Structure 1
Amino acid sequence: MSIADAPVEVDLPTHLDLPDTDGKPVENAYEHPQSALLSDILLPVLNRLHPDDNYFVGADTGIYWHHTKPDPLTGCKSPDWYYVPNVPRTLDGEFRRSYVLWQEGIRPLIVMEYVSGSGAEERDDTPFTGKFWVYERGIAAVYYAIWDAARNRLDVYELVRGRYQLLPPDSTGRVWIPEMEVNIGPWRGEYHGYIADWLRVWDRNGLLLPTAEERGSDARRLAEQEHRRAEAEKQRAETEKHRAEKLAARLRELGVDPDTV
């Protein structure tokens, strides 16, 4: 049994009562674009998996896993990106200020951290405070992904009998997440004007899932191709008509009615 499964006192605070910020800035300019990229790419996937629209995606949003006094933030971690299935997008019509486990009752399927230093913080298993320990024992997310863009390294752990086990990547460095029906892995390219190593997503057939901009570019390219095809067909038809008219005129010169040929 994890810490969050332990009996708790009644009248616990909700997301409306708990702090929604720790006052600390984002550590670098890479984190927000990376989270935006994941959310952008996965939107069609999550909409397909949840036709009822019941799922929540958080980025730098606190997960309260343990009610602590006097400082409630002691019982909170804010993953860089995470996904929780089968919960409403909003609570009582309001955006979540945080995700409160004792209020929601459903654990994240996956939490992600982006390494900004040596990676020691993301692998810290100090009881009650270390990220690794809290994600494994407190929050008990099914998967914990550590993405180290500087070293182009992705580690994905799966919760097995209450402990995280490192999943082996395939030959391309990608890891399959069956519940989401996607592979996640490193990709180098341009996003929002930055050329860098990014964490991206592929489908089961190995096709890179596009961003909204790429989907729009694909749609524009297909429309342009269709326009060129239509123009070529129109030109071919006009050329054929002109050839037929020229042949008919020649037959009339020879005294032959082209309609009887």
Structure 2
Amino acid sequence: MTLSKPKPALSLPDHRQLPESDATFVKNFQEHPQSLLLTSAIRPILDALHPDSHYAIGQDCGIYWRLTEPPERGAEAPDWFYVPNVPPLLNDERRRSYVMWKEIIAPLIAIEFVSGDGSEERDTTSPFANDDSKAGKFWVYEQAIRIPFYAIYEVEKAAVEVYKLVAQNYQKCSPNERGHYPIPPLGVELGIWQGEYINQSLPWLRWWDSEGNLLLIGDERAEQEKQRAERLAAKLRELGIDPDEV
């Protein structure tokens, strides 16, 4: 009797074995500061939600959702996304990509910055349409990765669309009375803010709290504190008190 050799266990690639870049680059000078603006403002909220620091923010990082050849064909790279309840490092190594079959937990929200006509961000093409079909971004986020919230930001139109996953499909959300889109799991709202950031005056995508207060970035928080201190000092001087002695 001849015993057959046991088949080797199937080993799926992880973030170290998959490409972390497809040689593309940021398309314009607005996208990088836009990502910084989103991250800086939301970090205090995320730090409060995750005292153990178990969350990850990706910016143009690949999310692998299926195995293909070449591997990059099975990934999408949102301009900005947040994943709750995952360690920021893997075995003390930086994340090279986010691999769904290794992590299981999907991002809570993905945001795309439109640089063309918006068709790429709204592409619902199924990869099963024919053998050569590349899945559209919208289809991947909705049907494959199943991201609960998907936002499409168009700086040229000073507009953002937000979709919420309901049952099996995305439903387009309606703005509230402030023109913002609530993201209930985070207790924040997403909307357009016209202002200057890193010497560019543009309609930026920003966060507000549930009361409609703009979530400030570090520089803004520092400036707010400086103005508060100056007002207090002026009030003390009106009362004949030297602020330096208080």
Any idea what SS the aligned residue of 2:185 has?
coil
Any idea what SS the aligned residue of 2:141 has?
helix
Q: CA deviation at 1:234?
A: 4.2
CA deviations 1:154-193 (Å, max 9, x no partner) are 1111111121111111233210000010010011001111
Q: CA deviation at 1:120?
A: 0.5
Kept in 1: contact 2:178–2:212 (CA 8 A): no
**TM-score with structure 2 length normalisation?**
0.89
Distance 1:197 1:222 in 2: 27
What does residue 162 of structure 1 align with? 168
Distance 1:158 1:57 in 2: 19
Aligned residue pair count: 227
Kept in 1: contact 2:121–2:138 (CA 8 A): yes
Kindly indicate which of the two structures has a greater share of residues assigned to helix. Answer: 1
Q: CA deviation at 1:126?
A: 0.8
- Whether 1:102 aligns to 2:108 is no
Show structure 2 runs of 5+ residues with no match: 1-8, 128-134
Distance 1:168 1:227 in 2: 44
Q: CA deviation at 1:219?
A: 1.2
Percent identity between the aligned chains?
Answer: 45
Relative distance call for 1:65 and 1:228 in structure 2 (3 A) is same
Q: CA deviation at 1:80?
A: 0.3
Q: CA deviation at 1:130?
A: 0.5
What does residue 87 of structure 2 align with? 88
Q: CA deviation at 1:221?
A: 1.4
1:1-261 equivalent positions in 2, closer than 5 A: 10-68=10-68, 70-128=69-127, 129-235=135-241
**TM-score with structure 1 length normalisation?**
0.84
Distance 2:158 2:196 in 1: 15
CA deviations 1:100-130 (Å, max 9, x no partner) are 1111110000001011111111000111321
Give the aligned residue type for 1:103: K
Any idea what SS the aligned residue of 1:179 has?
helix
Distance 1:140 1:194 in 2: 34
Distance 2:76 2:14 in 1: 16
Distance 1:86 1:93 in 2: 16
Show structure 1 runs of 5+ residues with no match: 1-8, 237-261
